[in-house]
Amino acid sequence: MNRASVEIVVARYKEDVSWLAETDYPAIIYDKGGDLVAVGGKCLKSLPNIGREGHTYFTHIIENYPVFPDYTIFLQGDPFFHTEKITAHEVFEQAAQKIAKNAKFFGFAWFKLRCDRLGRPHDMDDPKSKGKWKGWGKDIPVGEVFEKLFKRPSPEQFIASAPTGNFLVARERILTRPKSFYENALELILADPDDENNTGHAFERLWQVIFNGSTHINPPE
């Protein structure tokens, strides 16, 4: 059996990404901090600091569509913040196990999140986060973003299996959606570049829907 081809895509601001040395997988680091020079043979690309990790991920997909490896691992600059502080080695070992089992999508998080159309329950008004982004204290427009993406009524509840924005996805799942779908998603993010309306946060609750393999985007006739 041929070994699956894998690529890592990192959405980095000012985080220490030296953990990438723990893997032999090729990686592209999209740097939004402007202070990164080189990381051991990994590819560096610069992006403006807007739109959270969704801006990075959709930019990557659009620029490379339809040529992808068997699996793409999308990770934040510090993917361990939400994962009980497990090590990089454990994350990549977990990824290898899921790929060996032919998993099509997997979220790197120790929990699943159940929320309503407004992202509730959430901690967007956590005093410790006040001032970190313009959407602090507001609800998350999960239902609204869903409807703009899929052109059909939103469900009342969502179960997010990649709520930390860290996940792996098979090429076939990416290609289930046309390039225009991802271009539309990126436009939604560009319309809220500072996450004032929490559009970027909404995508963290929708990754499993975006990559669920369904071709059902438009409402039935």
φ and ψ of 185, to 5 deg: -60, -45
Q: Is the pLDDT of residue 216 over 70?
A: no
Q: The dihedral of CA 178, 180, 64, 154: what is its sign?
A: negative
Quote the pLDDT of residue 155.
96
Least confident of 50-54, 177-181, 212-216: 212-216
Burial, 82: exposed, middle or buried (Cβ in 10 Å; 0-12, 13-18, 19+)? middle
Which residues are paired to 46 by β-bridges? 31
Task: Report cis status (omega within 30 of 0) of the bond before 219.
Answer: no
SS3 category, 106? strand
As a whole number, the mean pLDDT across the chain is: 91
Q: Is the dihedral of CA 82, 86, 88, 91 positive or negative?
A: negative
Query: Residue 72 has what pLDDT?
Result: 98
pTM of the model: 0.93
Q: Which structural domains are found in the chain, ordered by start?
A: 6-210 (3.90.550)
